[in-house]
């Protein structure tokens, strides 16, 4: 499991204000709840787990917990989406199946001996699924290769609905080759383009982030150019 790396304002400073509770900054300092995420980027339909152990360990056994979500569109507000209790050693775990990209935080209810405690908010990306296929993986030098695929969920038709073909560069990153407008709408969008091949390379298709989803990328495919 990995700890999230994208920070938002703590849920206790945002969501709890909605309930009439003073923000954390106005209360006595309390230990921060550390979180671990089984994934920090998922596709629609995939789930992930948020887990951790309360700072008090076994002394926090049975303590009431709340899972808070701040769902896109941002900035938005935090809302409680799940309740739970800490285990015998103060451990906890929440399974999540997101429907949009969102920030997540865990809050421990106040007890007679402990103040209310919270984690920061961490962003988990929900990215679109992008497929890629080619008309051939072994083209002749100078010939045209058709790249095509589907994007799910689909983009609404508009100038920002673009798929970009990228080629791996010498540094190991990817450089844009050609953008193309996505076609279709609804559950799926599609793209198609032709590119003249002069040398072998590794290619992928990417789509930009949007209001509800993070940027998405296809798997990388290798195209080997033949001289004859």
pLDDT digits (tens), the chain, 228 positions: 444 444 443 433 333 333 333 333 334 445 689 999 999 999 999 999 999 999 999 999 999 999 999 999 998 899 999 999 999 999 999 999 999 999 999 999 888 888 899 999 999 999 999 999 999 999 999 999 999 999 999 888 777 799 999 999 999 999 999 999 999 767 899 999 999 999 999 999 999 999 999 999 999 999 999 987
115, 141: one domain: no
116, 135: one domain: no
Indicate the DSSP class of residue 6: -
116, 149: one domain: no
- What residues make up the domain containing 156? 129-223
17, 107: one domain: yes
74, 159: one domain: no
Report the distance separating Cα 95 and Cα 39, nearest Å: 11
Report the distance separating Cα 60 and Cα 76, nearest Å: 31
Report the distance separating Cα 138 and Cα 223, nearest Å: 6
Yes or no: say if 128 and 190 are a contact pair by the CB < 8 Å rule.
no
56, 134: one domain: no
Give me the pLDDT at residue 2, please.
44
Q: What are the C-alpha distances in Å from 45 to residues 39, 50, 126, 151, 207? A: 13, 16, 10, 14, 19
Give me the pLDDT at residue 130, please.
96
Report the distance separating Cα 80 and Cα 18, nearest Å: 11
122, 135: one domain: no
155, 177: one domain: yes
104, 143: one domain: no
Give me the pLDDT at residue 158, please.
76
Token pair belonging to 205: 């298709």
In this structure, what is the dihedral angle of CA atoms 156, 160, 165, 169, given to the nearest 10 degrees? -140
Given 126, 157, 185, which residue is the final one in a domain?
126
Given 126, 161, 187, which residue is the final one in a domain?
126
Assess if residue 228 is contained within a domain.
no
Peptide bond into 153 cis (omega under 30): yes
Assess if residue 169 is contained within a domain.
yes
Q: What are the C-alpha distances in Å from 43 to residues 19, 107, 152? A: 32, 26, 9
Yes or no: say if 191 and 163 are a contact pair by the CB < 8 Å rule.
yes
Beta carbons within 8 Å of 109's beta carbon, 6+ residues apart? 63, 64, 65, 66, 116
In the numeric block, the tokens 């450089």 are attached to 175
Give me the pLDDT at residue 112, please.
87
196, 163: one domain: yes
Given 126, 160, 183, which residue is the final one in a domain?
126
34, 143: one domain: no
- For the domain that residue 120 is a member of, what is the CATH number? 2.60.40.730
Give me the pLDDT at residue 185, please.
62
Q: How far is CA 53 from the centre of its chain?
A: 23
Assess if residue 2 is contained within a domain.
no
Give me the pLDDT at residue 156, please.
80
Could you tell me how many helices (H) and strands (E) the chain has, helices first? 1, 19
Question: How many domains would you assign to the chain?
Answer: 2
- For the domain that residue 148 is a member of, what is the CATH number? 2.60.40.10
Burial of 82 (0-12, 13-18, 19+ CB in 10 A): middle
Q: How far is CA 109 from the centre of its chain?
A: 28
Report the distance separating Cα 69 and Cα 66, nearest Å: 10
117, 145: one domain: no
């Amino acid at each position: 499991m990995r700890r999230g790396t994208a920070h938002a304002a703590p849920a206790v400073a945002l969501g709890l204000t909605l309930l009439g509770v003073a923000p954390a900054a106005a209360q006595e300092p309390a230990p921060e709840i550390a979180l671990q995420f089984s994934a920090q980027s998922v596709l629609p339909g995939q789930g992930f787990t948020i887990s951790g152990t309360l700072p008090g360990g076994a002394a926090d056994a049975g303590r009431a917990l709340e899972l808070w979500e701040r769902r896109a569109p941002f900035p938005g507000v935090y809302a409680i989406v799940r309740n739970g209790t800490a285990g015998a050693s103060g451990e906890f775990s929440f399974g999540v199946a997101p429907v949009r990209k969102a920030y997540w935080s865990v809050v421990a209810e106040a007890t007679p001996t402990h103040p209310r405690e919270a984690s920061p908010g961490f962003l988990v990306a929900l990215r679109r699924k992008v497929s890629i296929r080619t008309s051939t993986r072994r083209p002749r030098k100078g010939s045209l290769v058709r790249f095509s695929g589907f994007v799910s969920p689909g983009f609404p038709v508009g100038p920002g609905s673009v798929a970009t073909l990228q080629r791996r560069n010498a540094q190991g990153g990817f450089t844009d080759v050609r953008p193309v407008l996505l076609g279709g709408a609804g559950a799926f969008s599609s793209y198609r383009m032709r590119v003249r091949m002069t040398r072998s390379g590794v290619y992928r298709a990417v789509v930009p982030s949007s209001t509800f989803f993070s940027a998405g990328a296809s798997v990388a495919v290798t195209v080997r150019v033949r001289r004859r």
